């Protein structure tokens, strides 16, 4: 269900992107917009792992430097039938972890010092199984493309509003809409793109929870970890986290309460825990 939902949402993002490009410059505008998206996707695909690791000053560690962390990742990678990911540690008291890398052959798992301090070995295995599941199913690529398309839609929406207000819109083979319709549609499209990106991120989190629970062999490993991580992040949020990288982490590094939870990159923690506990009871 979540796989189909992700595919549908990606299609909607693409349609919105092409529609705004057409609004700016007709068919030619759509082609230019598509070219911009291709370039942006190329950059995010090839360099996303290096960028995010540099942002958090992550340090690659060897088996001798982090024997337990390394051993768990190696065991899970073997069970998942993927190459051994590189292992990184981030000096940060906020408990969290993420995976990156453009494909399983270039996978990376990063954990903060905070998460290594508060989780038991079983709970850490549950978290790392979740991240290995992300790598196995190429979620980093999907989320990178979704983020790039959403960002491009927002950028094109701004261009469309500027063009409509100050220069009108022209096309080589069809007419653009009137100024009011252009402004309204571009604003709605930008908001829709953001919400769709968040929905894709939440869908992939559910899938990774499910895959990680199966990989570790016990859904309660991950559910127990999520409880601790939720409380830990509430006590010690990651103050230097960047919003664009939030979907990578296993729990939202920011605090999202009330109406802002609608714009969270992650599903409600209570729902994730409930799903995992229901899975354990069905075993």
pLDDT of 124-158, one tens digit each? Answer: 999 999 999 999 988 877 776 666 667 667 776 77
Q: Are the C-beta atoms of 61 and 70 separated by less than 8 Å?
A: yes
State both tokens at 211.
């895959």
Q: Which of 63, 131, 271, 277 is catalytic?
A: 131
From residue 124, alpha-carbon distances to 23, 130, 153 in Å are 49, 10, 38
Reported pTM:
0.77
- pLDDT band at residue 170 under the 50/70/90 scheme: very low
- Which range, of 78-87, 99-108, 181-190, 251-260, averages the lowest pLDDT? 251-260
- List C-alpha distances in Å: 56 to 29, 235, 254: 37, 20, 15
Q: Does the annotation mark 271 as catalytic?
A: no
Residue carrying the six token digits 């927002």: 154
């Amino acid at each position: 269900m979540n796989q189909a939902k992700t595919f549908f949402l990606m299609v909607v993002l693409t349609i919105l992107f092409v529609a705004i490009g057409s609004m700016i410059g007709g068919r030619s505008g759509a082609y230019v917009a598509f070219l911009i998206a291709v370039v942006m996707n190329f950059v995010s695909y090839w360099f996303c792992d290096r960028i995010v690791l540099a942002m958090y000053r992550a340090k690659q560690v060897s088996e001798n430097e982090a024997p337990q962390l390394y051993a768990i990742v190696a065991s899970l990678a073997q069970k998942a039938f993927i190459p051994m990911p590189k292992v990184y540690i981030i000096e940060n008291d906020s408990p969290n972890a993420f995976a990156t890398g453009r494909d399983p052959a270039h996978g990376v798992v990063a954990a903060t010092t905070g998460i290594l301090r508060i989780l038991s070995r079983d709970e850490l295995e549950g978290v790392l199984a979740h991240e290995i599941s992300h790598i196995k199913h190429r979620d980093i690529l999907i989320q990178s493309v979704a983020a790039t398309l959403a960002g491009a839609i927002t950028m094109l929406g701004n261009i469309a509003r500027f063009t409509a207000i100050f220069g009108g819109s022209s096309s080589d083979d069809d007419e653009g809409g009137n100024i009011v319709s252009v402004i309204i549609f571009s604003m709605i499209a930008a908001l829709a793109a953001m919400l769709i990106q968040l929905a894709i991120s939440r869908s992939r989190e559910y899938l990774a929870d499910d895959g990680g629970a199966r990989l570790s062999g016990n859904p309660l490993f991950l559910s127990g970890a999520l409880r601790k991580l939720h409380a830990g992040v509430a006590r010690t949020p990651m103050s230097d986290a960047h919003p664009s990288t939030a979907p990578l982490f296993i729990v939202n590094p920011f605090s999202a309460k009330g109406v802002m939870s609608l714009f969270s990159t992650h599903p409600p923690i209570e729902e994730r825990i409930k799903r995992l506990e229901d899975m354990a009871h069905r075993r």
